[in-house]
């Protein structure tokens, strides 16, 4: 009976080891499946974020072009404001320029004499 008892214990241990390995493999398989699921979800999310990033860059470029256009309009408005002077201002400016020209002519005449 000693041999049969030992053989039974060996088979029992073998069964326990196989069950333990099966449990470990099942656990690993579950974890791998969860990892694959997580990877798939993250890959999808990454793709969505890339798409959103591209759209935001396009909007940013459009806004930069709009800003540039508006800055040009501001420059033109400022230039037009400086050119838009009244006829009195033009008359006064011409008189000042004529006065400066006469003074310069006097200085040149004094230098030549």
> Tens digits of per-residue pLDDT, 87-104?
777 788 889 999 999 999
Whole-number Å distance between alpha carbons of 41 and 93? 75
Tokens of 62: 């459009």
What is the phi-psi region of residue 83: left when phi exceeds 0, alpha when psi lies from -120 to 50, beta otherwise? alpha
What is the distance in angstroms between the CA of the first residue and the CA of the last residue of the chain?
149
> Tens digits of per-residue pLDDT, 53-71?
999 999 999 999 999 999 9
> Tens digits of per-residue pLDDT, 16-31?
888 889 899 999 999 9
Whole-number Å distance between alpha carbons of 51 and 57? 10
Alpha helices in the chain (DSSP H): 2-83, 87-112
Whole-number Å distance between alpha carbons of 99 and 16? 117
């Amino acid at each position: 009976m000693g041999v049969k008892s030992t053989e039974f214990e060996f088979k029992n241990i073998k069964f326990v080891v196989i069950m333990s390995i099966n449990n470990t493999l099942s656990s690993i398989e579950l974890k791998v499946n969860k990892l694959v699921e997580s990877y798939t979800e993250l890959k999808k999310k990454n793709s969505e974020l890339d798409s959103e990033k591209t759209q935001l860059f396009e909007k940013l470029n459009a806004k930069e072009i709009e800003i540039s256009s508006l800055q040009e309009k501001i420059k033109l408005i400022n230039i037009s404001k400086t050119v838009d002077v009244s006829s009195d201002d033009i008359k006064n400016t011409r008189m000042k320029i004529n006065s400066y020209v006469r003074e310069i002519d006097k200085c040149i005449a004094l230098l030549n004499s």
